[in-house]
Amino acid sequence: MILLPDGALERLQAGCKTIGDRCNALDINSWEVVATQSYGHQIDIEGGKISLAAGGGEGGFGIRILDDGKFGFAYLVDVNSADTAIKSALSIARMSPSVPGFVLPSAQSAQQVSNLYDSSVVDMSSEDLLIQADDIISEVASLDKRAVVTGGGIGVSANASAIFSSEGVDAAGVTTSHGVGVQVSIDEGGQLTSSWQSKSSRSKITQANECVARAVQWANLTRDPIKVETSGNDSVVMMTSEGFSPLFSVVVPNAIRGEKLVREESFWSGHMGNNVIASDLSLVDNARVPGGRSSGARDDEGVPTRKNSLIEQGRLVGSLWSTRDAAQQIAEGRIDIATSTGSAIRSGHQSPPVSGCSNLFLTSSQKGRSYEEMLEMIEDGYIVNSVMGAHTANPTSGDFSVTTSSILRVEGGEVIGAVKQAGLSGNLANALKDGVTLGDEVRPQGSYSSGSMYLPNVLLRNGLRVNPV
């Protein structure tokens, strides 16, 4: 199976130009056309066996039209329906409220980001994925004869995209991805335990051993649970990168979006220039990381990307903006000055751009601690490796209440056993204010399109409560 057809990118660019030409022919002066096309194939694993091999692609075009500060958006699959989509977007624009000062971004040069495309990923066949899947199944069995791969698989994709506008923006490119996910289960003695681990990269993954080993390890660690009474007090909690990322990704990216801050819809609203998290912690959004999961030379409006410092040594110093969001908040009088930070994102060709993060890094000026060192720092607490229900967290307040069945009880710096299930609740904004220790290994988590979290293990000493079931 050919992953990336010949001329795929050129066809997208030609389609964008055709739609742009139709806009000009209809006397529309301000327009923007985006196009995406993804190609991929995958192998699924279920019950310790290969269960499915699939492949295909999807994509289309999105058109944003600006008319006297008003914008409308429509999308299409076939360029032959361009006139219909253009007229629909124009009709929406004319019925929309005007945003004085809003203009589409002008053409600017942008430096490329390296390692976003790997030809060896494109060259991988379904047979190559089958071999990798067999290797994973064998690896799990070699680590623990009781363990079975009950879910997961391997996938590769190539993603072509283009943007073309009346303001001279004309850019296109192809990125690749290779992902491995594995759910390992141990079903013995009437007791079933499971663990999910994953790894993805812009480049070809040649070894998934660490990912597989962690899955087997946590399936083992959570067996034979002990009885733990609810204390009713706050708990010290070490969250692995995999456990922390779902909560962090729901709450924190929302809190540092510019329009959320000025609309008083962020727990950090009104605190620009003030300390908001522990004084050794910093938060950076960097779309220019070579090989980054959400890296790119331009954002989804065609604006050159950059490294945005958001929190420095605990102090809130910046926020993320798209062009329209910045113009709208100025027009509404909520902020005097705001410009694009190269932070526009969209979920494919079917949606207009909004402000969002790319590769979000939480770092500390203190030396990162190993897992063993962090464990020794817990006198009385828990280790959480995964959570369920993170999507229910309140991104405005930072409050959350989730459950976990991948949790260990710690006393005196030693794991004394697993907990069958527990609730974990608290406020993430408060938990980050002080008493935070970061681990020494960063494992990227999250999406390629809506922001990736580059997080280590995190030890939180305040504001969290564990309620064992």
Q: What are the structural domain ranges in the chain?
A: 8-221, 236-468
| CB 286 within 8 Å of CB 307 | yes
Question: Would you call 167 helix, strand, or coil by DSSP?
Answer: coil
pLDDT string in tens for the chain (469-residue length) = 578 888 999 999 999 999 999 999 999 999 999 999 999 999 999 988 888 777 777 899 999 999 989 999 999 999 999 999 999 999 999 999 999 999 999 999 999 999 999 999 999 988 899 999 999 999 999 999 999 999 999 999 999 999 999 999 999 999 999 999 999 999 999 999 999 999 999 999 988 888 999 999 999 999 999 999 887 788 999 999 999 999 999 999 999 999 999 999 999 999 999 999 999 999 999 999 999 999 999 999 999 999 999 999 999 999 999 999 999 999 999 999 999 999 999 988 999 999 999 999 999 999 999 999 999 999 899 999 999 999 999 999 999 999 999 999 999 999 999 999 999 999 999 999 999 999 999 999 876 455 899 999 999 999 899 999 8
| CB 438 within 8 Å of CB 428 | no
Alpha-carbon distance of 121 to 343, in angstroms, equals: 27
Alpha-carbon distance of 158 to 400, in angstroms, equals: 36
Cβ atoms within 10 Å, residue 101: 11
Query: What stretch of H or E contains 360?
Result: strand 359-364
Q: How crowded is the C-beta side of 228, counted as CA atoms within 13 Å?
A: 28
Distances from the Cα of 461 to the Cα of 139, 361, 363, 376, 431, angstroms = 37, 21, 17, 14, 7
CATH number of 8-221, picked from 3.20.20.70, 3.30.2290.10, 3.30.1330.10, 3.40.50.300:
3.30.2290.10
Going by C-alpha positions, the residue among 393, 428, 425, 455 that lies closest to residue 277 is: 428
Alpha-carbon distance of 241 to 272, in angstroms, equals: 28
Amino acid found at 165 = S
Amino acid found at 48 = G
Question: Would you call 215 helix, strand, or coil by DSSP?
Answer: helix
Q: Kindly state the tokens that stand for 438.
A: 């970061």
Alpha-carbon distance of 159 to 42, in angstroms, equals: 15
This prediction's pTM: 0.94
Please report where in the chains the tokens 């529309």 appear, as a residue.
Answer: 28
